[in-house]
A and B are shown apart, each in its own frame.
Chain A
Amino acid sequence: MRKCCFWGLLFIAFGFAWRVTAEHNPRTERISGSAGDVLEDDPVGKLKVYVYELPSKYNKKILQKDPRCLSHMFAAEIYMHRFLLSSPVRTLNPEEADWFYTPIYATCDLTPTGLPLPFKSPRMLRSAIQLISSSWPYWNRTEGADHFFVVPHDFGACFHYQEEKAIERGILPILRRATLVQTFGQQNHVCLKEGSITIPPYAPPQKMQARHIPPETPRSIFVYFRGLFYDVNNDPEGGYYARGARAAVWENFKNNPLFDISTDHPTTYYEDMQRSIFCLCPLGWAPWSPRLVEAVVFGCIPVIIADDIVLPFADAIPWEEIGVFVAEEDVPKLDTILTSIPPEVILRKQRLLANPYMKRAMLFPQPALPGDAFHQILNGLARKLPHKKSVYLKPGEKILNWTAGPVGDLKPW
């Protein structure tokens, strides 16, 4: 009797396992292991976020002045705010909140051509933090260690677009203890502090969805890239822009028919990416760019040429298995590197990229979908809980220096 039971159970277990694996779709591959599981985590119930009520001069009024902020690559801060306002993780009771969010649109000061000027951002943040520290007790409790800020600027909270100046400034002193959610990521760099969450830049999901071509269209372009190689305005000789890597790509491969690279801006840019096997994602003035997001969404294997870059959600997405990393000094050998990748590896990467969860994790769709970038940010925040006891300051203890930083930052906003 017992033996019969045992065999019966074994048979059922085997049948179940067989069924589960049989349903495995051969077209896409799930990233197995801890990383893949983390991608599918649901943050609801794991954390509570309190959204400060700031006066609209910090957010709505800025947006009204310039609605272009909703569609440029720094728009993540705006959409994060909107998502949090209606998300189930939001709590109206700050006492039970694990994380505090300050809705401030710091990149929304745009030039006529649409690039953000970061010069007022430090002052804006200072003014906002002064407001929250005086109106609510939660900032002073931890000096910001359980607060997070979305700073999608070129070099994160260093608030400058030029790398040397950004390094000089360093991360804004009053944000030293807060968690920063930023697009910039480079190892051992002043502007990436430990515990930051790297996110992808904003890419408009509807525009990309509208430009899908039938998946049976054969991929006939080997390597694809559209963008500048020399920034003629600011670095005419080359060598500064992209640390010379983009210029090296051009000089070495402009005669190579396998490399479809140029500075043209065609209307079929998205369609062409879907017809390519590899898409180059070299660094520019900053190591990150929306090209990575576009490559992942369109199933084109990203070739990342940026030394020491920290890619979005690096603790949840195994970028080594999905993309190809090429050191900047190996750029002249790029064709050798790419052609020597075995076809099985390429097919596996394509299968991983075809996974819809992978694509969704890079996007900021409205309304939010489970597993999208908003949820990955919340997952990242949830993984940092519970806060260490040392985060809470003893009464009278002060760590932050409110007068540190360049004199210009101390002016009121």
Chain B
Amino acid sequence: MKLSALHQSYLSRRSNSFRSSGPLDSSSDGGYKSPAAVFWIILHCLCCLISLVLGFRFSRLVFFLLFSTSSSNLYTPPFRSAVELAKTLDVHSVLSTNSVANNFRLPFPNKTASNSRVVVGRHGIRIRPWPHPDPVEVMKAHRILERVQKEQRLQFGVKDPRTIIAVTPTYVRTFQALHLTGVMHSLMVVPYDLVWIVVEAGGVSNETASLIEKSGLKTIHVGINQRMPNSWDERHKLESIMRLHALRIVREKKLDGIVMFADDSNMHSMELFDEIQNVKWFGAVSVGILATSANIDESSDRKEEEENPRMPIQGPACNASNMLAGWHTFNTLPFAGKSAVNIDDRLTVLPRKLEWSGFVLNSRLLWKDGEDKPDWIKDIDMLDGDVESPLGLITDPSVVEPLGSCGRQVLLWWLRVEARADSKFPPRWIIDPPLDITVPSKRTPWPDTPPELPVKEKPEMGIQEPIVKHTTKTRTSRSKHRSKRKHETRTDTQVSTKHSEQN
């Protein structure tokens, strides 16, 4: 009796399966066999032959059913012939299982009488009539999962999470929808309470308002009257002013929580929001700088690889004892003279020395009359003009707490990508009125003919013929795709096809 090695190696881990026991089986008494046992063996061989012919297992149990009264004591388990059965296993499957075993119970009466209601032997495999998930139960399960995860967060996550106050300066432009939607979706997933302060250059606009109201978050949308200038330098300066404006709002409304700067084109990870909960007064995280290098020629590419082998990171630098020792800033030398000046320059956009987004502060620092406010924070009402980075808000840079295992974890990425200054986009990204038809669809369900377009006769028809034949046969309405190619005109009763210009 051989058992396949493959199965065995798996089985040996988990289940108890049968091992080759032939001559070692001390419990098998060799010797006489009763006539009924012989009869069963002959029947078994017959069934095996039938199975070989038929191609699926023809079970002896059918006979057992028919002659069910006799010989229950001599019922030999079917395992001895596992190898013979293995030959006929091909179409084995669920089919035979279902047909033979479904809703069918055949208990094996034990020789030794036991009061157990659990019997050894073949049992039916119970399958309910519709073995598919029930949506109500799936919802219940999801609620259980949510509750368990909430409990896990309570036990192992941050204790007493504070509200997050996210400050985002923005203005209306083509890429605003792209960037702002990204930030909005990140903030919607944050598991803590959130207040989103959106400061808009050029005044409060409906465009931004309509984007923000879909978030469902608590938002404060303010505008400042200056328009966003076109050069990056000026833009950075105006953004700083906008952020200070937001901080003044935090002070006025006495918002309590952790202020973080979520620039609208940045990318935030969820771990960032968990990590900043650990800040006490003023913290810094590492920001990965994704400086887009649009137009770099070969030589500078290689040079850059030598000098900046890793992705540039701005953030706190620690010494061996995990104390703040200094700052990593972005190395702008390789880009000297080759950086973008205006927003639509197709050159690398450089960040400033230290970006605002890499810093977080406790909102109580901004309050007028905080009880235990440290003395190294400047009063923001006293500041005017441009503060290049939040370090300008404090007098002593050594009090900054490095977060994210001392700056080793990069928790957010800085990116500046903008469209051309003169690019237009439909207001609120709703196409109204509908655009002109540039290319008509080939097959429309309506019998009206689509508008005529000027066509040019194309000389090469031969190649296109087989394609056309195929399309008319299949009669699919994938004509928009097909219409880009050259077609023959065909007159159908229902549908007319046209030449269309390949653009």
Contacts and interface: CB of A to CB of B under 8 A. Distances in A.
B116 A233 contact: no
A234 B18 contact: yes
A223 to B, nearest CB: 9
B108 to A, nearest CB: 7
A239 interface: yes
Contact of A239 (B79, B123, B149, B155): B123
Contacts of A26: 155
Interface string B115-147: 111101111111110011110011011011101
Contacts of B108: 164
A160 interface: yes
A227 B18 contact: no
A123 B94 CA distance: 42
B114 interface: yes
A412 B112 CA distance: 27
A289 B16 CA distance: 10
A161 B141 contact: no
B154 to A, nearest CB: 9
A219 B150 CA distance: 10
A340 to B, nearest CB: 7
Given A258-B138, A332-B126, A308 B149 contact: no
A257 B139 CA distance: 12
B101 A236 contact: no
Contacts of B100: 237, 239
Contact of B122 (A113, A162, A240, A251): A240
Given A164-B108, A164-B120, A252-B128, A284 B14 contact: yes
Question: Does more than half of chain B's interface fall in helix, strand or loop, or is it mixed?
Answer: loop
A229 to B, nearest CB: 10
Given A167-B112, A237-B97, A256 B11 contact: no
A329 B144 contact: no
A343 B144 contact: yes
Given A216-B153, A238-B101, A408-B26, A289 B131 contact: no
B308 interface: no
A328 to B, nearest CB: 8
A239 B16 contact: no
B20 interface: yes
A236 B92 contact: yes
Nearest to B110: A167
Question: Does more than half of chain A's interface fall in helix, strand or loop, or is it mixed?
Answer: loop
B157 interface: yes
Contact of A27 (B20, B128, B155): B155
A117 B21 contact: yes
Interface residues of A, number: 86
Interface in A196-250: 214-216, 218-220, 222, 227-228, 231-241, 243-244, 247-248
Contact of B125 (A216, A247, A407): A247
A339 B134 CA distance: 11
B189 interface: no
Interface string B170-203: 0000000000000000000000000000000000
Q: Which among A123, A190, A244 has the highest number of chain B CB atoms within 10 Å?
A: A244
Contacts of A333: 128
B8 interface: yes
A154 B151 CA distance: 39
Interface string B24-60: 1111010000000000000000000000000001010
A266 to B, nearest CB: 13
Interface stretch (A88-96, A138-146, A181-189, A395-403): A181-189
Interface of A: 26-27, 111, 113-115, 117, 119, 122-123, 154, 160-165, 167-170, 186-190, 214-216, 218-220, 222, 227-228, 231-241, 243-244, 247-248, 251-258, 265, 277, 284-286, 289, 307-308, 328-329, 331-333, 335-336, 338-341, 343, 346-347, 350, 406-409, 411
Nearest 4 A-B pairs (CB), nearest first? A408-B26, A216-B156, A188-B116, A332-B128
